[in-house]
Structure 1
Amino acid sequence: MQRVFLLSTSQFIVESHSEESKLKNLLKQQFNINSRRTSRLALLSLLGALSIEKINANCGVYVTSIFSSPSNMYELEIDIFQRKTPRPFNFINSINNAISFYVADALKVNGPNLFISTDICNWSQILLPAISDLQQGVVEQALVGWCYESRRYDEYSKEGSFWLLLTRHPDTSALASLTIANKPCQGDVSNQPIITHANYYYDSVLKTFDLNSQPQSDVISVDLILNKLLVIKKLPLHKH
Structure 2
Amino acid sequence: MKVIAASQIDGNAAVDDKALKAHLSCYLDHPPRRVDRLILQALLGAAVLQSRPRAESGLYLASSYPARPTMQALLEAVCVHGKLPKPFEFVNSVSNAAGFHVAQQLRLNGPNLFIGAGPDVWSDLTRLAGLDLAEGVIGQALLVLCDERDGFQVQALLLEPGDGGPLAGTDFASLTAGVRVTRLDLRTG
Say whether residues 1:59 and 2:57 are aligned partners.
Answer: yes
Say whether residues 1:179 and 2:166 are aligned partners.
Answer: yes
Is the partner of 2:65 in helix, strand or coil?
coil
What do residues 159-186 of structure 1 show as CA deviations (whole Å, max 9, x unaligned)?
Answer: 031111111256xxxxxx4517xxxxxx
Q: Which has the larger radius of gyration?
A: 1
Q: Which residue of 1 aligns with 2:44?
A: 47
Letter in 2 for 1:208: S
Does the C-alpha gap of structure 1 residues 178 and 8 become closer, same or farther in structure 2, counting only changes over 3 Å? farther
Q: Which residue of 2 aligns with 1:228?
A: none
Q: Quick one: percent identity of the two aligned structures?
A: 31
Letter in 1 for 2:68: P
Q: How does 1:52-131 map to 2 (within 5 A)?
A: 52=49, 53-80=51-78, 81-131=80-130
Q: Which residue of 2 aligns with 1:207?
A: 173
For structure 1, which segment, 32-41 or 108-117, has the greater mean C-alpha deviation from structure 2 after superposition? 32-41
Say whether residues 1:146 and 2:145 are aligned partners.
Answer: yes
Does the C-alpha gap of structure 1 residues 27 and 114 become closer, same or farther in structure 2, counting only changes over 3 Å? same
1:18 Cα deviation (Å)? 1.1
Is the partner of 2:89 in helix, strand or coil?
helix
Contact preservation (8 Å) 1:6, 1:165: yes
CA RMSD, 1 decimal: 2.2
> For the residues of structure 1 that align with 2:110 and 2:48, how far apart are their CA atoms?
19
TM-score normalised by structure 1 residue count:
0.67
Q: 2:157 aligns with which of 152, 164, 174?
A: 164
Contact preservation (8 Å) 1:69, 1:149: no
> For the residues of structure 2 that align with 1:210 and 1:137, how far apart are their CA atoms?
23
Is the partner of 1:44 in helix, strand or coil?
helix
1:47 Cα deviation (Å)? 0.7
Is the partner of 2:7 in helix, strand or coil?
strand
1:31 Cα deviation (Å)? 1.7
Contact preservation (8 Å) 1:100, 1:115: yes
What do residues 42-65 of structure 1 show as CA deviations (whole Å, max 9, x unaligned)?
Answer: 101111101221421110000111
> For the residues of structure 1 that align with 2:98 and 2:106, how far apart are their CA atoms?
13
TM-score normalised by structure 2 residue count:
0.84
Does the C-alpha gap of structure 1 residues 210 and 179 become closer, same or farther in structure 2, counting only changes over 3 Å? closer
1:16 Cα deviation (Å)? 1.9
Is the partner of 1:84 in helix, strand or coil?
coil
Does the C-alpha gap of structure 1 residues 71 and 98 become closer, same or farther in structure 2, counting only changes over 3 Å? same
Q: Which runs of 5+ in 2 are unaligned?
A: 180-189
Q: How does 1:23-42 map to 2 (within 5 A)?
A: 23-42=20-39
1:121 Cα deviation (Å)? 4.6
What do residues 52-80 of structure 1 show as CA deviations (whole Å, max 9, x unaligned)?
Answer: 21421110000111121112101111211
> For the residues of structure 1 that align with 2:66 and 2:134, how far apart are their CA atoms?
29
1:132 Cα deviation (Å)? 0.2
Is the partner of 2:25 in helix, strand or coil?
helix
Does the C-alpha gap of structure 1 residues 39 and 123 become closer, same or farther in structure 2, counting only changes over 3 Å? same
Q: Which residue of 1 aligns with 2:13?
A: 16
- Runs of at least 4 residues of structure 1 off by over 3 A? none
